[in-house]
Structure formats: C-alpha cells, structure tokens
Amino acid sequence: MRASECILYSGGLKGAEAAFGAVAERYGVEELTVTFDGHPIERTRGVRTLSHEELEKGDVSLAYVSRLMHRHYPDTAYFKKVLQTIWHQVNNAQEVYVIGKVLTDGTVKGGTGWGAEFAKLCNKPVFVFDQELDTWLRWTSTDWARHLPTIGHTHFAGTGTRYLQDNGQRAIEDLFARSFS
C-alpha cells in the first residue's frame, strides 16, 4: 500500500489531530478534515464543512453516549456537532488511531473517547497510543492489549487529545514511518 492511495479522516483540531494531518501531508496521504461552521480548527488542508443534513446523519443520543462512556457530556448544540463530526470520521474510516489515555473502565478519556467507542461498536480496528503508559494499545473485542500498529487500510482516522505530548508526536511519526517506509 502506498501513502498516495490513502486518506486520513480527522477533525483538524489543535493537538493530535493537527499532528496527524501534518505528518500525513509530509507522506503524501490525502487529508479529509471534517468540521462544521464555527468550529476552530488548525488544519485547513482537505477541509469539508458538513451541512446541517450531513451532521444529522451522525446524530446520537447524548444520554446514550454518557451512559456508554460512564461520564457526563454537556447537552449543547455545539457538543452534539462535535460528536457528529467524530461520527463522520469513524464512519468513513476502516481503522482508527487515537492519541490519549485509556481509563480503568476501558474507555478513552475526553470527547475523543466517543471516537474510540464508536469504532469498537462498529467492530473496526482501533488503536490508542496511551501517552501516560507510553505505548500503543489495540482493542481486542474484550480488552486493550499492547500492540505496535501499522496502517493497514487506505481509509483511516487519526484523532486524539488536544494536549499532545512529545511521546504522542513521536508515536504518530513512527506510525507513518513504519507504515509507509
């Protein structure tokens, strides 16, 4: 598989998503950055601003997501749009890469966690680089296990924390190097 055959789906936000986009651009991977009007993004390459109708396709009950994720999310139109854009990223991807932290309940911290959880529900390969553990993990259908991934599908999502650490940046760069060298 060549990098030029691939598409990165991301949200273009500060932190992990911007880093995924910058590394993808260096490798010649096409970038599709999904967003909505009024959403501040760092990456402008391949921007696709979703219409109201497109956002609605990714609508999900906040009560359901809160229960599934064992936390409370704000019941605001803005936050619903954030979850809807994440739905578009994961729905279009064949596998998902996340930079963040896996919590003791098996979910991923923050809003990013919905992307990982949705990938699990869709039975898509999902990998998390846990910055605190300094290692990649793969969801095995029942638990997280250490696994050093390579990008194996032409359509993949790259998302994660706004608080990207040096080891998270290296993890993204090494992932692309392993996959496209």
CATH number, domain of 164, equals: 3.40.50.450
Rg (C-alpha) for the chain, rounded Å, is: 15
The number of domains in the chain is 1
Tell me if 130 sits within 8 A of 172, measured CB to CB. no
Tell me what pLDDT residue 55 has: 96
pTM value is: 0.96
Which letter does DSSP use for residue 163 in this model?
S
Domain that holds residue 172: 3-180
Tell me what pLDDT residue 175 has: 98
- For residue 83, what are the contacts with CB-CB under 8 A and spacing of at least 6? 58, 60, 62, 65, 73, 111, 114
The whole-angstrom separation of Cα 176 and Cα 171 is 9
Tell me if 102 sits within 8 A of 131, measured CB to CB. no
Q: Which two tokens stand for residue 93?
A: 């991807």
Tell me what pLDDT residue 49 has: 98
Listed as ranges, residues in the chain with pLDDT below 50 are: none
The whole-angstrom separation of Cα 90 and Cα 66 is 18
Best CA proximity match to 74, nearest among 24, 113, 111, 108:
111
Tell me what pLDDT residue 110 has: 84
Which letter does DSSP use for residue 32 in this model?
E
